[in-house]
Amino acid sequence: MIADRRPIAASGLAAALADAVNLVVDACCHELPELSSVLARSATIEAVVIDIEMFDGDALQAVEAVHALKPAVAVLLLTTRVDERLLEALGHERVSCISAYSDVRAIESALRALLRGETHLPPEVQRALMTRLRPAPPRPDRPLTLREEQVLELAATGLTISEIAATLHVSHSTAKTHLLRVYEKLEAPNRSAAVAIAIARGLPRGSIAAA
């Protein structure tokens, strides 16, 4: 589904994406009541491409509005700026973002990656994460364990906790505990922040290959 308050923009993107193989646009929404109505009654929508200006630029509100109705639906945010609400929104699972000025091929690529379960973090978002967080120097008294590095590396690829657990052959609760410990040790509020801090500190260090 395409959600954009500008009808011409929504229909244009829908027509362009319709030309892609196996990519079907079920609906275009221009108003918030329409968005809620379509999501509530649809059983086929897998992803929403949403211009956050529909929510007055509040990316987090956009994600929460979609996931309140359909928690499993993937959300690709079209944005023109990077702010704290966007960074918070990216902490949710199955959420990615891309510049609203991107061409159709870039949007299609980001959407397909999202549907594969991968996290899409444009370079400008990665830079914003590292700049805004201003990570402290590594704390030698609280290093990540090998297993925690493995969990972080998999989380950075966009895998869900269940998928991380399956990959590492551990229980869901064990994988979740490891990820929470990573957040604690890196003093990160969410997954995107943890990944940004890890990048700044040179982590992870290929722990999957070494295991």
pLDDT tens-digit readout, 91-115: 788 898 998 888 888 888 888 888 8
Pair 25, 1: CB distance under 8 Å:
yes
Residues 6+ apart with CB under 8 A from 47: 1, 73, 74, 75, 76, 111, 114, 115
Q: What is the pLDDT of residues 6-61, one digit of tens each?
A: 988 888 888 888 776 567 788 888 888 888 898 888 888 899 999 999 999 899 99
Distance between first and last Cα of the chain: 41
Q: How far apart are CA 112 and CA 3, in angstroms?
A: 17
Question: pLDDT value at position 208?
Answer: 44
Reduced to 3 states (helix: H, G, I; strand: E, B; else coil), residue 43 is coil
CA 153 vs CA 19, 67, 187, 200, 202: distances in Å: 35, 25, 17, 14, 12
Say what the pLDDT of residue 153 is.
Answer: 86
Please give the radius of gyration of the chain, using alpha carbons only, rounded to the nearest integer: 18
Check if the beta carbon of residue 50 is closer than 8 Å to that of residue 25. no
- Place 3 in a pLDDT band, splitting at 50, 70 and 90: very high
Counting other chains too, the contacts that 101-106 makes at CB distance below 8 Å and 24 or more residues apart are: 102/78, 104/13, 104/16, 104/17
Is the pLDDT at 160 greater than 90, yes or no? no
